[in-house]
Amino acid sequence: MRVRWGMKGRNILLDEWELPPFDEIETGDYEPAIRAAIAEAERNVEDIVAQEARPTFANTIEALEQADRRLNRVGAIMTNLNECCTSEELQEVVMRLEPEMTRFGMNVMTDRRLYRRVQEVWHDWQDELERREPLSPAPPSLTTEQRTLLEETRKGFRRHGVALEGEAAERYKRNEEELTELKLRFGRNALADLNAWTLHLTGEGDLEGLPESARAAARAAAASRGLDGWVFALAHPSYGPFMTYSARRDLRERMYRAFGSIGNRGNGNDNNETIRRIVSLRAEQARLLGYDTYCDYVLRDRMVGSLPVLRNFMQQLHDAVLPAARRDLADMQALSAEEVMPWDVAYLSEKLRQQRYDFDSEQLRPWFPLEAVREGIFGLFGRLYGLRFEEDRSVPVYHEDVRVYRVSQLPTAHYPLAAEMGILYLDMHPRASKRSGAWMTEFRGQHGTVRPQIQVVCNFSKPTADTPSLLRFEEVETFMHEMGHAMHGMLSEVQYESLGGTNVKRDFVEMPSQVMENWCYEPEFLATFARHYRTGEPLPTEYIDKIRAAQNHLAGWYCLRQLNLGYTDLAFHASGWSDTSDFKAEAIEAAAMTNLLPRVEGCCTATNFGHLFGGGYASGYYGYKWAEVLDADIFSRFKQDGIFNTETAAAFRREVLSKGGTDLPTVLFKNFMGRLPDNQALLKRMNLR
């Protein structure tokens, strides 16, 4: 492998740079850079444990926080690009290096010399608390953020097996390395299987019901492959419109079965054995640490706290929405002469929406060109928080589709000083090298005076020769959702990177993003940007009224669908597993109470369920519904005070967004709302109260 060195005679990734040098990085640079960064981090850790000075917060906890900073920086570039701009060569490199990075992390978190130092700092802090007079005016030696970092550091050692001995300790480390490889393999297989299947149509009759936007995109996809006719793929910008509008039920079934069998086709990309091994290893890891199930292990460190509390939450929500979901299904069935099957739901849902509200989401596309939506979202954050977004084409990017914005703070009554807030990378369009979905991540997190570098990735249809990228209303919500995550990271004001921005409890992390979706239904916000891309005509009031009226369209059905995915998650992680378990049968049985449609042979949710097996949502998929309770409650205050109220926005920024994970989520919520969460706002929003 060729290794290229920078101007200073060093690997470019090890040079000192402010912005990632994407225009200079080559795949061959990662391997030597990651290994050099690991070696540097190992030396830093050894310096911590070798010092003779008594352990203190500064020389142990802070030093450990900073020990692997270069490794995290370089690793973030490599792993993030593997998600959105990968290649076979990069995938091979990541498959080699991720286990090595995991091994380094496990060696640190199981180093008993280091843990003893952490324990000494912890005991000194506990002794100080015991000695403190209840009404002492003197501030404690540790701030709230420092106390949280100490607690999280200590907990991290305990949750990563520092107390294990002998074969159990070695087994735990080996399992973690294998799990890293398996998660990467899962994602690689799913992406390859998604890209491998297309539907090539050559007759006009095959396009019945499809809008011109879908036809044009499919025509362009065919032309790019040197084919006549139209090509539809399984990536959402192609798959979603086809399933929603195609009047050809037979073709919808073909598309559905193809999508539903991703990773389950018995080919070289099959994920069945990968899942079996992942689940078995997770169960074993939990048992090694003294937990009954992997879910028990995960939930101990979440807002929900325990499996019984989670099951109660899901059962209550299930009981509340099941009657509405059954009514929704009956209404869809009334539109079909045949039994409703899964490939009919999107199509019948859209027909039902048109019937109920005289509302066709496809008709709204001309009012939501991507660039206008982006400027509308930027404008909202400017209005709420005084932020300005300025494109900077001089910043290096990893793909020509990426746009970069410098985010700055304009002086406001609440933030009187102008300041640079960070860098935002927007990557909006699909390609074969990018996994499906939408997400936010960071190339660098905020800490101290260092500002973040944040990436938002979506898969919106590309512009054509005569039409810009036009979004469906649901995609406007998706963009707003991811920008909510981005602003959680951008407005972070913490001292320690591991506690900044979105580094919060998993069942709290979706709240800041989901709360932003609420603005998409507010006429005052839509009026700021929703204009026809050709005529400049504002989105008609009647359309806004229809958007609002349809906000709860099939709310019961889609809530039950989310619960179905949550129960599928629990099926894998809330029971004991072995390599011989029939995971498909058990998952189907566990989710049966939320599945109102016939099962489709050959389709398997799990084999393409990246949140669970390629990402970090195992035992946590419920978090989307949990966070809905929080976001509905929080937005009720914005509605009461005014959706552009800068006092309320400043309080939300001060008490929640800026704090990251420096305090417990319940504390942050209570500081903003003045009370604990109440689910009545969510039930009201869903018309279930």
Q: Which residues are catalytic?
A: 482
Residue 568 tokens read as 């599928």
How far does Cα 181 stand from its chain's mean position? 20
For 344, which DSSP code? Answer: G
- DSSP code per residue over 36-47: HHHHHHHHHHHH
Exposure b/e, 130-167, CB count within 10 A at least 16 = b: eeeeeeeeeeeebeebbbbbbebbbebbebbbbebeee
**Cα 457 to chain centroid, rounded:** 10
- CA nearest to 372, candidates 214, 480, 533: 533
**Contacts made by residues 597-603, CB under 8 angstroms, sequence distance 24+:** 597/329, 597/340, 597/341, 597/342, 597/345, 598/339, 598/341, 598/342, 600/256, 600/257, 600/260, 600/341, 600/342, 602/257, 602/260, 602/261, 602/264, 603/256, 603/257, 603/260, 603/261, 603/264, 603/342
What is the SS3 assignment for 489? helix
DSSP letters, 106-158, are HHHHT-HHHHHHHHHHHHHHHHHHHHS-TT--SPPSS-HHHHHHHHHHHHHHH
CA distances from 469 to 413, 430, 464, 534, 604 (A): 37, 12, 7, 13, 32
Instruction: Check: CB of residue 520 under 8 Å from CB of residue 477.
Output: yes
| Residues ≥6 apart with Cβ < 8 Å to 58 | none
Length, in residues, of the chain: 689
